[in-house]
Chains A and B, each alone.
Chain A
Amino acid sequence: MQRLVLSCCTVASLLVAREAAAACPTGVTWPAADWPEALVRGPTADAADDYLFTLTGRDEDRKGIRTDGVVIVHRGRIVYERYARGYARHNRHLAWSVSKSFLNAMVGVGVGRGALTVDDSICDHYDPGPELCDVTVGDLLDWGSGIDWNEGYEDDPYYLSSVIAMLYGIGSGDMAAFVASQGLAETPGTVYRYSSGDSVLLSAVLASALGPGLAGDYPWEFVFDPIGMTSAMFERDLAGTYVGSSYVYATPRDLARFGYLALREGCWAGEQLLPEGWIAASTQPNPSFQVGESYDHFLRDGDAVPGRHWWLNLPVPDLAHERRWPAAPPDTFAGLGHWGQTIFVIPSADLVLVRTADDREAGFDQNRYLELALALAAEDSP
């Protein structure tokens, strides 16, 4: 199938130089059974407490900022940590769509082991029906499959939402088959459209590529166990497919381990866990994000620039769109989830930020949060 040629000017203007790591970094701190701590005290930490943890309305009304937990890791040590609203350090929290960034890493390990490549047709590994054989693994990573999808949540009519039908409705028994049954709305690889369906289908493709020996265990074997995420749980549908769009659970401390894996370019304790260059490649604007319908979806969703199951802090000159988080440097990238779940990674500041929350309305200022975290890091003496 003919693919659109990318606008070189558009892509070039979006790219930031992030060199792929030549080798795992030395001389950095790695968490062992638990994180080392170097808590920063003082006015900035107090300001973070005030901003992040002050309920501005009645809890039962679900108004205002509703933070459940925050862990900030600077140079491999926890410099800020706090919990609220019934949560404590031991409570797992639903990551919602931050799960998609976990799935990216699991696919990366699968690619590193030679089970699949990003250029493979998904039909090389999974049978979605002939209409979808032009969709590649990379297209799914880019949310660019072209599969017809309505990513509506509770504020939209339930009967129109593909994702609600997938998670709770007619698609919930075999979610990947449901996604595949939606058919194409666009030519694969040409249009970015944020889709939990693409992510779930990617989970099924990965499991099929790995084969029955690994299909049930890969999240633990590939990512959770090597980085010590002992709290991690990952839910599946009745067909046994991991719900890679939505259902990773872990404590904030363990979510920070995952952010730290990304910060260290896929290395953990000196070992290259993800393929060399995988994180760098995943944190560039994805090829299906280009003028036309992609921008329509982007503007409607109001999110950051999409990478490959990560979100980027880059401008979009074609739209006169500034960086999503101007307080943070342009190399910042993030896993973002419903109701305020976030993992921010800021390589140039050696920072990982985890926030779990139950924000049911817009109002939490991520930029202010990043500003406070960067100020905390600046106060963290070497």
Chain B
Amino acid sequence: MIRRALLASTLALAACNAEAYDNNDAELAVRQKAKEMCSCLFVMELSEQECAAWTRVSPNVARATIDRENKRVHAVALGFWAADARFDGRHGCVHD
């Protein structure tokens, strides 16, 4: 819990210090996780374990929930940031 709080503080600080683009690492991480996990599962058709390895980034704060029936991925980080991606046929995956 302490580690998570420290990480959240660090990420929030990084967000405040962003010089070039108004993103923070947790927000980027959930969007990356949702989109790339969706593409890995439904476009590249690899296993969840393989896709977890393919989409791992640092900091590895995003966790994905997979809806195979609707071909969607929901990613969350630190209980606050969240993102979704969905499969769209030959156009692969796209953020919601």
Question: How many angstroms from the CA of A23 to the CA of B69 in the assembled complex?
Answer: 50
List A contacts of B50 (CB < 8 A): 85-86
Which of chain B's residues have a CB closer than 8 A to the CB of A319? none
Tally of A-B residue pairs with Cβ under 8 A? 90
Question: A49-57, A235-243, A288-296, A341-349: which one contacts chain B?
Answer: A235-243
- Decide: A247 and B47 in contact? CB cutoff 8 A: no
- Judge whether A119 is part of the interface by a CB distance below 8 angstroms: no
CA distance A92 to B46 in the complex (A): 9
Question: Is B45 in the interface zone, CB < 8 Å from A?
Answer: yes
Q: Which of B19, B28, B57, B94 interacts with A235 by CB under 8 Å?
A: B94
Residue of A nearest to B28 (CB): A168
A233 to B58, CA, bound (A): 28
- B26-45 interface bits toward A, Cβ cutoff 8 Å, 1 = contact, 0 = none: 01100110010001000111
Do A154 and B58 touch (CB < 8 A)? Answer: yes
What would 5 more interface pairs be, CB under 8 Å, given A86-B50, A238-B95?
A: A94-B39, A164-B28, A234-B90, A235-B92, A235-B93
How extensive is the interface on chain B, given as a class? 20 to 34
Which of B21, B24, B35, B90 is in CB contact (< 8 Å) with A220?
B90
Q: Shortest beta-carbon distance, A280 to chain B, in Å? A: 31
- The verdict on A249 contacting B95 (CB below 8 Å), with A165-B23, A168-B32, A169-B21 known, is no
Q: Does A117 contact B (CB under 8 A)?
A: no
Q: Establish whether residues A91 and B28, one from each chain, have CB atoms under 8 Å apart when the complex forms.
A: no
- Name the A residues within 8 Å of B35 (CB-CB): 167-168
List of A residues within 8 angstroms of B44 by Cβ: 91-94, 249
A positions within 8 Å CB-CB of B? 59-60, 85-87, 90-94, 150, 154, 158-162, 164-165, 167-170, 172-173, 220, 232-238, 247, 249, 358
Most chain B Cβ neighbours within 10 Å, of A92, A158, A238: A158
The distance in angstroms between the C-alpha atoms of A233 and B28, with both chains bound, is 24
CB neighbours of B58 from chain A (8 A): 154
Q: Is the CB of B94 within 8 A of A86?
A: no
- Chain A residues near B57: list those with CB within 8 A: 154
- Enumerate chain B residues within 8 angstroms of A232, measured Cβ to Cβ: 90
Pair A235/B95 contact, Cβ less than 8 Å:
no
Find chain B residues with CB under 8 A from A94 CB.
Answer: 39, 43-44
Nearest-neighbour CB distance to chain B for A138, whole angstroms, equals 28
The 3 closest A-B pairs by CB, nearest first: A169-B23, A235-B92, A159-B18
Give A360's nearest chain B residue, CB to CB: B56
Identify which of residues 7-23 in chain B touch chain A, using a CB-to-CB cut-off of 8 Å: 14, 17-23
B52-92 at interface with A (beta carbon < 8 Å)? 53-54, 57-58, 90-92
Distance of A326 from chain B, by nearest CB (Å): 32
Residues of chain A with a CB closer than 8 A to B25's CB = 158-159
User: A87–B46 Cα gap in the complex (Å)?
Assistant: 8
**CB of B39 to closest CB in A, whole Å:** 7
Question: Do B91 and A234 have beta carbons less than 8 Å apart?
Answer: yes
By beta carbon, the residue of chain B nearest A217 is: B90
Interface centre among A90, A94, A160 (most CB of B within 10 A): A94
Separation of A358 and B31 alpha carbons in the complex (Å):
20
Q: Is the CB of B45 within 8 A of A165?
A: no
Cβ B21 vs Cβ A170 within 8 A: yes
Q: Which residues of B contact A160 (CB under 8 A)?
A: 19-21
Whether the pair A86, B39 counts as a contact (CB closer than 8 A) is no
Once the chains are docked, how many angstroms separate the CA of A236 from the CA of B57?
22
The distance from the CB of A268 to the nearest CB of chain B, in whole angstroms, is 20
Q: Which of B20, B45, B90 is the one whose CB lies under 8 Å from A150?
A: B20
By a CB distance below 8 angstroms, the chain B residues around A247 are: 39, 92
Nearest-CB distance from A150 to chain B (Å)? Answer: 7
In the bound assembly, the distance between CA atoms of A173 and B35 in angstroms comes to 13
Candidates B21, B45, B54; contact of A92 at CB < 8 Å: B45
Report the nearest B residue to A88, measured CB to CB: B45
Contact of B21 among A91, A165, A237 (CB under 8 A): A165
Q: Residue among B23, B35, B47, B57 with the most chain A CB within 10 A?
A: B23
In the assembled complex, the Cα of A93 lies from the Cα of B35 at a distance in Å of: 15
What's the minimum C-beta distance from B42 to chain A, rounded to whole angstroms?
10
